[in-house]
Amino acid sequence: MAITLNTGFKMPIVGLGVWRVEGKEIRDLIINSINIGYRHFDCAGATSLLLLLFLSFSYADYRNESEVGEALSEAFRTGLLWNSDHGHVIEACKDSLKKLQLDYLDLYLVHFPVATKHTGVGTTDSALDEDGVLDIDTTISLETTWHAMEDLVSLGLVRSIGISNCDIFLTRDCLAYSKVKPAVNQIETHPYFQRDSLVKFCQKHGICVTAHTPLGGAAANIEWFGSVSCLDDPVLKDLAKKYNRTVAQIVLRWGIQRNTFVIPKSSKVERLKENFEVFDFELTKEDMDLIKTVDKKHRTNQPAKLWGMDLYA
């Protein structure tokens, strides 16, 4: 099952996030996932690319691109823009292509809509100033970055480009100044953080939405940020019993029925299969409406705790 982007390319609606997967594990993980049927891979949160049969990969942030390239070359052929590379878009993209052993990317996303101090192409560091606060580069606007992203399309290095972690206002601005419209906005959204207004705004204007942390981050964000997981919600647990599914499958199916891409993370083969087995059932309208009632406006991914400042404030 796929959704067609505004560039005409089809993107599988269920993908795999490989955040926090070690380089030595990622090769087997991707090969296993390909065998299960996955054709959309997402590394983390720096950039996003989708290759060939929308075998997608992204995010230099986890420093495993070389291993990914080796694994994907065995299957099809198969890599990004980190905050510190906003002023070095073409160089960063070429660096990812080289590591991933590719000639072009199908989709490339700007990570956060903010430029930070450059620390070297592909290093994906989040430089902090002397006060321990994210060192933002105020000389580079998102518009400047976006026009550099458009150059990637002109140069044939990428087919589609998009944004991440952009609210309605930033998305609206990007639509206003763009020559090449963003194909995707990748945001955190799950039953505890539904963001209906943003999702509907993007979809109304032809921008597809990808849900990162579609299961609410679960153990990882609980560990890192003290978040609350929707997988423990009693309403969702009751629905899981009703449909004879896992809570994760209910949440992913909810995301699919909102016409959003979902990219859950797992390194366990049984979970990979479970997360992919969401196409043979459908939630009723009543149950979709019921899930609306559990929204807590709860963002689970809180980089402010790492960066010393709240970019969402």
Give 53-58 contacts, CB < 8 A, sequence gap 24+: 54/2, 54/9, 54/10, 54/11, 54/12, 54/106, 56/11, 56/12, 56/15, 56/106, 56/107, 57/100, 58/107, 58/109
Give the gyration radius of the chain's Cα atoms: 18
Closest to 120 in 3D by CA, of 88, 145, 151, 142? 88
Other beta carbons less than 10 A from residue 5's beta carbon? 23
3-state secondary structure of 271: helix
Binding site annotation covers 40? no
The answer to whether the beta carbons of residues 198 and 211 sit under 8 Å apart is: no
Q: How far apart are alpha carbons 67 and 80 in whole angstroms?
A: 15
The answer to whether the beta carbons of residues 295 and 192 sit under 8 Å apart is: yes
Residues 62, 104, 108, 243: which is the catalytic one?
62
Q: Would you call 177 a catalytic residue per the annotation?
A: no
39: its two tokens: 């054709």
State how far Cα 9 lies from the chain centre: 17
3-state secondary structure of 311: coil
Residue 285 neighbours by CB under 8 Å, 6+ apart:
none
Binding-site entries for substrate:
111
Catalytic residues: 62
Binding-site entries:
111
